[in-house]
A = this chain, B = another copy of it.
């Protein structure tokens, strides 16, 4: 029976019999024995195995090169070395799978670009193993957070006929054969009409919130946007809670609680993985996470934010005036310089936001805002965007008209307001963005197992 290295290293007592299976990271030979540093991906740390010359299997030791799969049986004993508590004294070693000399992950640095080209081997590198363990723990923490709060997890559809944001930039899903152009009629397509990959599960989430009260989605979403930045991918995962009988304030409360929960979980249950990011990726990482964990969140209206930015004396690339959307430089000024804490900005100009957000009473100057909110954190800016939704059917219809959306296409969405409508609110968190914040990784391609970006869909 195999023991994971993670469990072996955590052992409270020595073990008379242990079996370790994994891959060789490095090997050092002396005349009478060999040291093998073994890793099985269950944690960042290796376990050191000492194999004396002559034990069963030792005849293959020269083939146990970096990347080779090996099984070691022996005893778990206290290590005389300072770097680890336990090591394995091998009674037998067995070569399971060789790694020839052209194995790409030899012990030397590799560029992120090169490692993206071998995304199928990349999780065997220490840094990427840590990234994907962190990704897993954070995803599990998302489910724990909502499960503890009695939210119902809803699988909203990936293939959809509607465009939540009304913004276009969607992938089409089809079984039509492009080599037979005469047959390219949507009536012949699989769903007998044009269909797309979803950009958000929000609208369907609202249908479930207005039945089950508190729900969340957590699934893949898609943008066919031809943008080549380090922060955009064509396929990414999003978390979208939605709460019935909830207003903007309740929404902001949940967004802040959720962000803190994920950051605290990252700090407290990282099982050693955080070290590698703090050492090699971002020296300020732990401080920034503690900052979000410990500091109370500030809340200000968009109008207050514009005033603060106007009075700041800073010269921004994008000048600020009431009515424009906030840019990353503005968001960072608010969190990093002015308030020095995470900030939630609410009540944005109606003109810059989608049709489904709730319209506020005009302010004293007659300006129209909606109950949008963005949660900003240092170093990255917006990490959550949300809103209280427009629950008044007449106002919603007017908004849809202003956005050129058809009442027929959204008839089912209007039904949610026609029958037992209620105030409700929710938000979306881009999972990869949160993961980038928690690891310090700078490129979204490096926190997705197999990233999809314009012109790139490998593996």
Contacts and interface: CB of A to CB of B under 8 A. Distances in A.
A316 interface: no
A380 interface: no
Given A97-B420, A133-B212, A175-B171, A234 B190 contact: yes
A207 B121 CA distance: 7
A400 interface: no
A149 to B, nearest CB: 10
How many chain copies does the complex carry? 2
A325 interface: no
A208 B132 contact: yes
Given A171-B190, A172-B173, A452 B157 contact: yes
A339 interface: no
A40 interface: yes
Top 10 A-B pairs, shortest CB-CB distance = A41-B212, A181-B181, A97-B421, A123-B211, A191-B457, A21-B245, A136-B153, A69-B422, A120-B207, A178-B184
B172 A152 contact: no
A401 interface: no
A111 to B, nearest CB: 19
Interface in A173-231: 173-176, 178-179, 181, 184, 186, 190-193, 195, 197, 204, 207-208, 210-214, 219-220, 222, 224, 226
A159 B97 contact: no
B175 A174 contact: no
19 contacts: A96-B245, A99-B419, A118-B412, A123-B212, A132-B208, A133-B152, A136-B152, A139-B155, A143-B143, A155-B449, A156-B449, A157-B235, A157-B450, A161-B459, A171-B173, A178-B186, A179-B184, A190-B455, A191-B456
Interface of A: 2, 4, 6-7, 21-24, 40-42, 67-69, 71, 96-100, 103-104, 118-124, 129, 132-133, 135-136, 139-140, 143, 147, 150, 152-162, 171-176, 178-179, 181, 184, 186, 190-193, 195, 197, 204, 207-208, 210-214, 219-220, 222, 224, 226, 234-235, 237, 244-245, 391, 412-413, 415-423, 448-450, 452, 454-459
